[in-house]
Structure formats: C-alpha cells, structure tokens
Amino acid sequence: MNAIASVRDALTRNMRQSGILIAFVAIVVLFAALNDSFLSPGNLTNLVLQYSYILILAIGMVMVIIAGQIDLSVGSVVALSGAVSAAVVIREGMPWWAGVAAALLVGLLVGIWQGFWVAYVGIPGFIVTLAGMLLFRGLTFLVLDNRSLSPFGGTYYDIANGFLNGWLGGYGYDVFTLVIFGIAVIGYAVSQWRSRQGKIAYQQSVESLPMFALKLVVVAAVVMWFGYQLSTSRGLPVVLIILAVLIIAYTLVTQKSVFGRHIYAVGGNRHAAELSGVSVRKINFWVFVNMGVLASVAGVVFSSRMNGAQPSAGEMFELDAIAACFIGGASTTGGIGRVGGAMIGGLIMAVMSNGMQLMGVPQSMQQVIKGLVLLLAVAFDIWNKKRAAVAR
Amino acid sequence: MSTILEMRSITKEFPGVKALSDVTLTVEQGEIHAICGENGAGKSTLMKVLSGVYPHGTYDGEIVFDGASAEFGSISDSEEQGIVIIHQELALVPYLSVAENIFLGNETRGRLGLIDWNDANHRAAALMERVGLHENPTVPISQLGVGKQQLIEIAKALSKKVRLLILDEPTAALNDTDSEHLLELLRVLRGEGITCIIISHKLNEIEEIADRTTIIRDGQTIETIDMSAEDATQDRIIRGMVGRDLEHRYPERASVLGDEVLRVEDWNVDHPTQAGRQVITDASFNVRAGEVVGIAGLMGAGRTELAMSIFGRSYGRNIRGKIFKDGKEIQARTVAEAIKHHIAYATEDRKHYGLNLIDDIRHNISAAGLRQLAPGGWVNSNEELRVAEDYRASLNIKTPSVVVDVGKLSGGNQQKVVLSKWLYTDPDVLILDEPTRGIDVGAKYEIYTIINKMVAAGKAVVVISSELPELLGICDRVYTLAFGRITGELPVADATQERLMELMTLERDQPLPTNGTAS
C-alpha cells in the first residue's frame, strides 16, 4: 500500500471521528482567513480560558450520554458550587482551598442525590436533572441571598486566570511553557510507540512506519506550534493543565477501564449488560456522581474566572455541553461516543463563538449559526452512518 | 389455475455483494407457495424487490403481476395492486387500539376529513371475524398475545384487499397452538382465492401447508418442488438449502457422564409484578458433567423464567429453593455471583437481552468475562482482540473482522458470538435458552457441534427448546415443564415427541404421572 492510499484508508475507516476533525480544521482555517487576530497568541490563550469549563462539563456529559442518560442540571450545579465556594472564601474569609473543597463536596452530594433517583428509584435522568436544574438554581439563590459575591482574588482567582511562566527564563517566549509542551509531545510519542509495539507483539496489522512517523510529526508540529503561541503570550494557563489532565484521565477511563467499558455496555443494551453481570444501577449511579463532581470542578473554574459568584451563573451551560457531545459523534440513544469527540465538538462551538465575536457578528446571529451547526453536525453523522451501512 | 406472479431473472446487487443472481419465481393463483433458504440466501431481498422496498430500476429483471409488467416504486405501489407483506417483526403500534392499528395509514375519512370511529370499529370487528378473532376492536394491541397480534396483521392485510399475501417467518414467535391456528387460517384464505407466499424455517410446517416450495441458496433459485409429489420430503428441502446432504441433522456424540455439577431443589418463583401469582412451583432438576439435559415446555410454561431466576435471580420475586454446585449449596443472588460460580445463561432473545448490537464482536465476546482481561481494572485490548480472534476461529464466526458491529451479522453468527461470550467466562454449566431460534439449518448444525464440544470438555449443558426433535436429537435426558411444574423426566431413549407433548400439556391440577419420572 502506498502512502496516499494508506492515508485515505485511515481516513475512511475513521470517517466518523475524522469527519468531525476535518470540520474542525476547516472552521479554524476559515476564521483564520477571515480574521488576522484569530490565531494570535493572545486570542488562543483567551480561547482556552473562556471555554475550559464547557469542555470540563462535556467530559462528564459524554459519559452520561454514552450511558443512555442526559444531565440538564449541570449549569445550575456550576452556579451552586461556585456560590458555596464564594460563601466560604469571600463571606467567611476562609482560605482558597477550603472553597475548592466545599465546591467539590457540593458536586459530590449533587451527584449522589441525582444518581440515587436515577439508579435506585428508576426515574429517567431527563426528569431527575430537570428537577435538579430548578432545585440547584433555587439553592444558589438561597446561598447567595439573590446577590452576587465578589471578589475572590488571590490564589482562587489564579485557578482560571493564572499562568505558569518564567521559571526557566524567557527570551520573548517562555521556555518553561515550551518544555512542558515538549514533554507532552514526547510522552504522546512514547505511548503511541508502545501501543504500536504491543499490537505488533500480538500480530495485529499496524500502519506502516512512515505513516506512523508522519502522524507523530503532524501531531507534534500542531501541538508545539500551539505551545509556542502560548509561550509568546502569557505562558501556560493553569486551567489548561487541569483540562489536559482530565482529558487524558477520562480518555483512559472510558476506553481502557472496566468501568468505562461497562458504561458503553449499559448504554448499548442495558438488558444484555445486566445479564452479563454488569450492575446497571451502580454504573448509572457512578456516572451521575462523576458528572456532579466534574460540574463542580467547572463551577470552581467558572467562579474563579468570573472572580465571584452570580445567582445566574452557568445558565445554558448544559446545552453547550450536550451540543458538544452530539457534535462530537455521541449517539442520542446511548452506547456511542468518545471523550475526544466531545472535546472536538466543544472546541468547534468554542472556535465558532470566539471567531464570530472577533468578527463582530451580533449575538442573535451567533445563536442562529450555532443552532444550525448542531443540526448539520448530527445530520452529517446520520448520513454518514447510512452510507456506511450501505457500503458494507 | 393461472399464474398470478412471475419474477423473471431478478438480479440485485449491493456494493460488493450480489444478493440475488438471476432468480426466477412463479406463483400460481390461489396457492400457498413456500420459500426456503438459509439465512442470507436472499429470501428477504427477493421479497423486498417484490414489494417495492427496492424500487424498480434498482434491480435487473422483470416482475409480471396478474399478467401485466409491474414496476413498483414504493411499498404503497405494490399494496395498491394487492401485494401485502407481513414482516417477522410485527409492525403494530402497541398503545393503539386494534381498529386503529388495522386502519393505520389506510384510514377512511368521513365528513370534514375526520375518521368515523364507530364505522371503523365495526369494520375492524368484521375483519377480525374473518381471521377468527373475537376481541374488542378498541383494546390496545399490547394487551393481546403475539399469536393474536399476528392475526391482526393478517386482518390488516385483508383490509387492504390483499390478493398476494407474503408472510416472513410468521410462526417463529408463536407456540404450537397459535401456529396451528395460523396455518389453518391460511388454508381458509386459500379457499377464498388469496395467494400466499410463506417464508419459513420450520420444514414440518412447510410440508404440512405448502402447495409448492421454491428453494433459494446463495442468491440463486435451486428448484421449485411440487409438495404433492412422492419425493417432496424435508430431507430433499434441506439438501437443496444447504447444497449438501446433512447426513444427520444432529451430530453424533458419545455420552461420557461425570459427577453431578448442578442440582436445583424445590425452586419456587413468584411473578415480579403480579402479586400472588406463582410462576415456578417446586421445580427440581440436576445436570451432570458431560451431559446435555433438555427442558421441554410450551411457551408460557415458565422455561425462561426458571432459567433466569436461577441465573442470579434475574427474573421474579420471592425466590425460594436451593442450588447446589458440585455438591455444595451456593448463593447466586446476582448475575455477577452466578458467573463467579461458573454458571452461564445464553438468552432466547439475542437482540434484546444477549448482545449490544451497536458494539463490535470483540467487545461483545468480552462483555461477561471482562475482569479476566483487566487484572488491575484496566483492559488489555490486545489480549481482548486475541481472545476474539480465537473464538472467531474455533466457533467459525463468519465475518470479515472481529471489529464489525454485531448487529450486522446473521442470526447464526450472532448466536455464535453469544456462545463465545459465555464460553469465555469459563462456565461449568451452560443454560442455553432456545439456542437455535431463528437460525438456519446449516448454522443449527454448527451450534449442535459446539454444544457437543462443550460437553466433551466436561461441561454440563441445559438446553431449553420448544422444538422437540431438536431436544430428542441432542439431549441425554429431557425434563418436561408445564404451568411452572416439572411434570416429567425421561432418558432420551424412552422419550418420544408424543410422550413429551403429553407431559408438557399436563394441567396444573392434574396429578404427576409416576411412570416416566423414574431415575
């Protein structure tokens, strides 16, 4: 097989995943062409800071969706955890970490609460979290007494607004940032190489060595370019580290752990899963607990970014997170979806919002366009599935 | 007798596959014409060509219906001509009433374009009369059993002025009484001049009812047999379907019995939702290593309920009784515990209870034994692929790759995936619920061979089946189950279909016979 054919082969085989990746690249190229400052270091940094909490929510949401459920309450949970954190840090004057711990505890309790109703009472997640959406919004008003609380300042403020830089000096670009990105690229290359060696040891077919090397080089180039852009701006955002750790951890959990595989089994066919020894209740319970905790992480990041807590914080976040999952190829009926896909879906939404803001597109048009993108992305997915079914 | 339908040299290609190649089918006016073939032979494709699901122009060849060349562009075109197809999976809406279902998509509008429900219900009752049903036309379909639903489908076809009725596996989900009733109805309809094409795997039915039988294999017509002829036997049909002599329909096996592996004593199970209704009463049975034990029972006797309640209490409430494994009493309160005790249960309903159809073969095979692949909680995906490839080879799962979605496989291959899944849990006892339902003759033989391999490896196998010849062909011992009671136990040498049927129909209040329950 020559190189071009193998590239084409790899693309068609992963059409579902690569289709959305190509769409993402196309959107980035489009905005870069329309607006000079879109790919500027400052704007890329902004992108990360502005949409990180949606991506964190989408990680939890894609797992809920794979399990065949939905969570409409995450926006309210973001608000409530931020509010509790603000009450602890700002009103009570306790240290920043107490606020973070209190917020995470709120997320945990919310998750246990919703998981209980879904898993052990058997109420569909849609209903439980619709109730939760009202419930936790109401509690937010109670905690905040209908007023905003600000500012956090200090270390808490730095969670979403801080940067790591200057530790190894700077020469117009931050060396530390580049070193971290370099380590990430090397780590990626090593893990890919080991996975390839593992497959060879099991006599599975692998892509040819030049093809493999090409893939690594392309990924490395894109990542290092991104790192360089950040390093010439303000350095490595703290929130990017949080996000990267979560993405890597949850990709492993969903693809490689028994728990993750059981989520797919439950979403794909809960009866078959049950009869294969999977406790559907436990899986549903923990998926919601996990969502609750991740929503509170997003709550911490968002309140830190806003430097305070507002009663109306996080409104409509649930819809952005859900849209990210579906644009990223998750199935509405459960059983299909990936963390990576949801991240690209979230980035598509982020890039479009950001790009349109830069170009001064009015808010009303932005909503219209985002709505259409969601619709077209899912339509493309369905068309693609039908095509694949015919071509088999 | 005149020819009502002629399909000439039908060829239908899908990308990469020739599903039908030069198929010819001639159906006479007023006959019952059976179509036989293995799964994937092209029967359903042929019927989809006929009914316009694949519109004119997407296939080669010619359809002549009622003397005129037919070019159907859609299902409604063919229905207009009186060709109605009833699919294996019934197309009824469970929460709509009988009358609403019968006239669905075919509603007659009265004044103001509204439906006159009194008139509709009246006409529905008349149609039901014709198929021998006496139900209130306003009850929801979901309240009727599957046998009656099948009849409603036929009533629906009659409402469309059907001239050629096509039935795809109409009796697959029916019990013997309902099947008999349905076949009788087809005879009555034949008397009224309605032509019928029936697709079925049940060869005894075909022998009983069909006037002629066309055999299709690998997308080609093999022959059309006049069923009144002397040599029109089941063996001849099988030979045509599989293209070779199946010397015996059941592979030979030498029984080498070991120690008792599983014993169930005084098993009682209540219905999960209806209080006070007992589904299983005082059932006791056992199975030894290297033994195939059959459980024969009519639909509704409690076969599946018995098996599932044993398998980690996945059915029923208030379960009482004892399970002994290798002589020791065990507790299996959850499926996970049952698997830990090396008990496996392969469901009768692959699609809804056995497989994750939107996931691939590899992940389905590892679903129940995933822990073995993940010593530290992390799945070794390379090892997983190797396991899947092993089973693909040893059970002869026909697929281009083990990363193909299970939903795309034929019934026989899906069943092999189910069996692979359970074999990978390393069971000592396998309970197989209707292991050959809905799969073709060739694949059945393969499943029987797999069962033989299991018992040769010292495993104990319990087979639940409604096909008595199958039980007699593969079992060492057969229990009969009727109304939740075990009514008999026969070594296969003493068992006949008649004797089993007698025990299977023993009413709840009749005393258990003392002979025949020996051992």
Residues B221, A14: Cα–Cα separation, whole Å: 39
Q: Which of B352, B363, B377 sits opposite A257 (nearest CB)?
A: B377
Chain A residues touching residue B368 (CB < 8 angstroms): 276-277
Residues B1, B193: Cα–Cα separation, whole Å: 11
pLDDT at B379 over 60: yes
pLDDT at B446 over 50: yes
Query: What does the pLDDT average to over B360-383?
Result: 92
Query: What does the pLDDT average to over B41-66?
Result: 89
Q: Which of B16, B353, B368 sits opposite A271 (nearest CB)?
A: B353
Q: Which of B14, B379, B382 sits opposite A261 (nearest CB)?
A: B379
Chain B residues touching residue A274 (CB < 8 angstroms): 314, 335
| Residues B357, A261: C-beta atoms closer than 8 Å | no
| pLDDT band at residue A392 using 50, 70 and 90 as cut-offs | very low
pLDDT at B228 over 80: yes
CB A317 within 8 Å of CB A140:
no
CATH of domain A3-165+234-391: 1.10.3470
Find the Cα–Cα–Cα–Cα dihedral B43, B48, B49, B51, rounded to 10°.
Answer: 120
Indicate the average pLDDT of chain A: 90
Who contacts A132 (Cβ-Cβ below 8 Å, separation ≥6)?
A71, A72, A73, A76, A77, A110, A113, A114
Query: What does the pLDDT average to over B492-498?
Result: 87
**Measured in Å, how far apart are chain A's first and last C-alpha atoms?**
21
pLDDT score, position A47: 87
| Residues B353, A259: C-beta atoms closer than 8 Å | no
Which A positions 184-203 lie with beta carbon below 8 A of chain B?
198-199, 201-202
CB B73 within 8 Å of CB B56:
yes
The answer, for B370 touching chain A at a CB cutoff of 8 Å, is: yes
Question: A204 to chain B nearest CA, in Å?
Answer: 8
CB B51 within 8 Å of CB B72:
yes
| Residues B367, A272: C-beta atoms closer than 8 Å | yes
A229-245, pLDDT tens digit by residue? 988 888 889 999 999 99
CB B383 within 8 Å of CB B391:
no
Query: What does the pLDDT average to over B494-516?
Result: 79
Chain B residues touching residue A278 (CB < 8 angstroms): 335, 367
Give DSSP secondary structure letters for B294-341.
Answer: EEEE-TTSSHHHHHHHHTTT-S-EEEEEEEEETTEEE---SHHHHHHT
pLDDT score, position A174: 86
B248-261, pLDDT tens digit by residue? 678 888 888 999 99
Please work out, in degrees rounded to the nearest 5, the angle formed at the alpha carbon of residue B307 by the alpha carbons of B306 and B312.
Answer: 105
Find the Cα–Cα–Cα–Cα dihedral A32, A33, A35, A41, rounded to 10°.
Answer: 30
What residue in B sits closest to A197 (Cα-Cα)? B382
Interface test with B, best of A275, A281, A286, A392 (most B CBs within 10 A): A275
pLDDT at B514 over 60: yes
Interface test with A, best of B12, B45, B370, B408 (most A CBs within 10 A): B370
A272-292, pLDDT tens digit by residue? 999 999 999 999 999 999 999
pLDDT at A164 over 60: yes
Question: A320 to chain B nearest CA, in Å?
Answer: 26
Distances (CA, A) of A226 to A33, A42, A324: 17, 12, 22
- In 3-state terms chain B splits into helix, strand, coil percentages (rounded to 5) of 35, 25, 40
**Chain centre distance of CA A248:** 11
pLDDT score, position A58: 97
- The fraction of chain B above a pLDDT of 90, given in percent, is 44
| Residues B374, A264: C-beta atoms closer than 8 Å | no
Chain B residues touching residue A197 (CB < 8 angstroms): none
**Measured in Å, how far apart are chain B's first and last C-alpha atoms?**
58
> How do beta strands B260-270 and B278-288 pair?
antiparallel
Residues A330, A338: Cα–Cα separation, whole Å: 7
B8-30, pLDDT tens digit by residue? 999 988 765 678 889 999 999 99
CB B264 within 8 Å of CB B283:
yes
- Domains (range + CATH), chain B: 3-242 (3.40.50.300), 256-342+427-519 (3.40.50.300), 358-426 (no CATH)
Query: What does the pLDDT average to over B321-330?
Result: 95
The answer, for A273 touching chain B at a CB cutoff of 8 Å, is: yes
> How do beta strands B477-482 and B278-288 pair?
unpaired
pLDDT at A3 over 80: no
| pLDDT band at residue A87 using 50, 70 and 90 as cut-offs | very high
pLDDT score, position A201: 86
Which of A113-122, A189-198, B496-505 has the highest average model confidence (pLDDT)? A113-122
| pLDDT band at residue A388 using 50, 70 and 90 as cut-offs | low
Query: What does the pLDDT average to over A251-257?
Result: 94
Who contacts A371 (Cβ-Cβ below 8 Å, separation ≥6)?
none
The answer, for A122 touching chain B at a CB cutoff of 8 Å, is: no
pLDDT at B182 over 70: yes
pLDDT at A159 over 80: yes
| Residues A276, B421: C-beta atoms closer than 8 Å | yes
Q: Which of B314, B356, B421 sits opposite A269 (nearest CB)?
A: B356
B346-356, pLDDT tens digit by residue? 998 898 899 99
A25-80, pLDDT tens digit by residue? 989 999 999 988 898 888 888 888 889 999 999 999 999 999 999 999 999 999 99
Query: What does the pLDDT average to over B43-48?
Result: 87
Chain A residues touching residue B386 (CB < 8 angstroms): 202
Rg (CA), chain B: 25
A103-122, pLDDT tens digit by residue? 999 999 999 999 999 999 99
The answer, for B377 touching chain A at a CB cutoff of 8 Å, is: yes
| pLDDT band at residue B229 using 50, 70 and 90 as cut-offs | confident
- The fraction of chain A above a pLDDT of 90, given in percent, is 67
The answer, for A276 touching chain B at a CB cutoff of 8 Å, is: yes
Q: Which of A198, A277, A331 sits opposite B335 (nearest CB)?
A: A277
pLDDT score, position A275: 93
Question: A197 to chain B nearest CA, in Å?
Answer: 11
pLDDT at B507 over 80: no
Query: What does the pLDDT average to over B212-231?
Result: 88
Query: What does the pLDDT average to over A165-190?
Result: 86
pLDDT score, position A6: 52
pLDDT score, position A12: 56
The answer, for A331 touching chain B at a CB cutoff of 8 Å, is: yes
Question: B343 to chain A nearest CA, in Å?
Answer: 11
pLDDT score, position B45: 86
Burial degree of B2 (CB within 10 A; 0-12, 13-18, 19+):
exposed
pLDDT score, position B519: 38
Interface test with A, best of B54, B356, B401 (most A CBs within 10 A): B356
Query: What does the pLDDT average to over B317-326?
Result: 93
B109-157, pLDDT tens digit by residue? 777 788 888 888 999 999 998 888 888 889 888 888 778 888 898 898 8
pLDDT score, position B161: 86
Burial degree of B293 (CB within 10 A; 0-12, 13-18, 19+):
buried
Question: B246 to chain A nearest CA, in Å?
Answer: 31
What residue in B sits closest to A201 (Cα-Cα)? B382
DSSP helix/strand/coil, A229: helix
| pLDDT band at residue B389 using 50, 70 and 90 as cut-offs | very high
The answer, for B204 touching chain A at a CB cutoff of 8 Å, is: no
| Residues B358, A268: C-beta atoms closer than 8 Å | yes
Query: What does the pLDDT average to over B169-177?
Result: 78
